[in-house]
Amino acid sequence: MDLTKEQLSEIEALRAQSSLTKRACAPQLEEILYEPFPVLDHGFIRVIDYMGDDAAVVQAARVSYGKGTKKVQSDAGLINYLLRHRHTTPFEMCEIKFHVKMPIFVARQWIRHRTANVNEYSARYSIMDKEFYIPAPGQLAAQSQSNRQGRGDVLQGDEAAEVLAMLKQDAETCYSHYEQMLNADADENVLDDSREGLARELARMNLTLNTYTQWYWKIDLHNFMHFLSLRADSHAQYEIRVYAEVMLDMLKKWMPHTYEAFSQYRIGGVHLSAKGADVVRRMLGGEKVTAEESGMSAREYREMLATLNVST
């Protein structure tokens, strides 16, 4: 994680300030407010602001004028009920805002979640930093033969070294050409005014997708949990999953009761189709049900058995 002296000073100043407020506060989240958490080789994520807490979810569900009940167990029980029965509106009343630095290809995958407010660093107005994501050797894997979106065996030896060298060389070469087109000095992040260069909005198209970008990302709690349920999953791409895993811990600090319910009913829960539920009922009744007799596709049947840890 690379932060400039100016950024570090700004973070230090923000973390040193405090304000009196009548708004709900999450003490554990307050402890890490503005603090950057490193992700990948040059990335980070930090919480910039938030609105609401567990009590705000309860308050919205009951449409009351107070902060919920004084019985923590009662509030936790209601949150469990809401998540278990997929009541989403009370969770939409709370929001959180992040500052994220990630490779462009991760950002393009991330932006597919069209339920947040986003403001990204603009390469039309500013010069992009000379920072690229280079995977650790353990993340250099071949294409999976069984999953078009997944990875297979990790590359080894000379093949891995060759791929790493190409990634570094391509990124360095493209950025060098980017600087030349701009007539810019990347170390000083300034332009040479002695001669004209290509417009920033055009020069940026030469950058590789492993170049780092940044954005502010604000989302409500309901959609945030949906994002985490997909991106913190073991099947998600590693480079976005590591961000989601850090955010999962931030959710725990922000909304401890909601986090526990989310872990129970979403992260650790199991969803069955109508046919899947019928197969489970038949199996519990002592019937031996084959894939052909289940009415499910072979893949769905295998996935269901794997989820339930049942062997055939």
Residues carrying an active site annotation:
231
* Two structure tokens written together for 28: 């554990």
Q: Which residue in 212, 172, 227 sits closest to 43, CA to CA?
A: 212
The greatest distance separating any two alpha carbons of the chain, rounded to the nearest whole angstrom, comes to 83
- The full DSSP string for 243-307 is HHHHHHHHHHHH-HHHHHHHIIIIIS-----HHHHHHHHHHHTT----HHHHTS-HHHHHHHHHH
Measured in Å, how far apart are the chain's first and last C-alpha atoms? 47
Please report, for residues 118, 190, 201, the alpha-carbon distance to residue 290 in angstroms, rounded to integers and kept in the order given: 48, 67, 58
Q: At what angle do helices 72-84 and 54-62 cross, to 10 degrees?
A: 70
Contacts of 6 (CB under 8 A, 6+ apart): none
Q: Which residue in 40, 223, 188 sits closest to 117, CA to CA?
A: 223
CA dihedral 105, 107, 109, 111 (to 10 degrees): -150
